[in-house]
């Protein structure tokens, strides 16, 4: 359970940094509390997408992974972010990614920040 909470906090922080840095990724709400709740709900959706869909996509794209020396991972991360945006729209969450390029840069930012947050935050193994 602690690991789930740590991953959700790391995803929320990473999404917040991407929203702050990129104009193409937006989060809207009436007030700050509503934005924070929306951010954590989007982080949960993003975590579910990465847990359920991403392994299947990585398995199916394994030949491309070898062919591109791993650069296809950037595209997969962008697609997972776009899928999260689509699901957030279906769930009436005020989160939107404007296009592929915003998703690509956002995926890189989210990966870096999430990695840094996992280094900083305690884990069950600690």
Query: What would the two tokens of residue 30 be?
Result: 């009436």
The rounded distance, in Å, linking the Cα atoms of 12 and 16 is 6
Give the domain ranges of the chain: 1-120
Q: Residue 65 corresponds to which tokens in the numbers above? A: 């992974």
80-102: pLDDT as tens digits: 999 999 999 999 999 999 999 99
Residue 11: CB partners within 8 Å, gap ≥ 6? 43, 46, 47, 110, 114
pTM of the model: 0.88
Residue 67 makes CB contacts below 8 A (sequence gap 6+) with none
Side-chain-side CA neighbours of residue 118 (13 Å): 12
Cβ burial 11-39 (10 Å sphere, 16+ → b, else e): bbbbbbbbbeebebbebeeeeeeebeebb
Task: Measure Cα distances from 31 to 34, 36, 67 in Å.
Answer: 5, 9, 47
- pLDDT per residue over 23-61, tens digit each? 999 998 888 889 999 999 999 999 999 899 988 998 998
């Amino acid at each position: 359970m602690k690991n789930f909470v740590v991953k959700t906090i790391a995803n929320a922080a990473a999404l917040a940094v991407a929203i702050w840095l990129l104009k193409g990724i937006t989060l809207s709400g009436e007030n700050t509390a509503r934005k924070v709740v929306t951010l954590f709900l989007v982080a949960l959706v993003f975590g579910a997408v990465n847990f359920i869909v991403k392994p299947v996509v990585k398995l199916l794209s394994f030949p491309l992974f070898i062919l591109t020396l791993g650069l296809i991972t950037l595209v997969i991360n962008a697609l997972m972010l776009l899928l999260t945006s689509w699901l957030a729209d279906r769930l009436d969450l005020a989160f939107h990614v404007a296009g592929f390029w915003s998703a690509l840069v956002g995926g890189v930012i989210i990966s870096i920040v999430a990695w840094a947050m996992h280094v900083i935050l305690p884990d069950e193994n600690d």
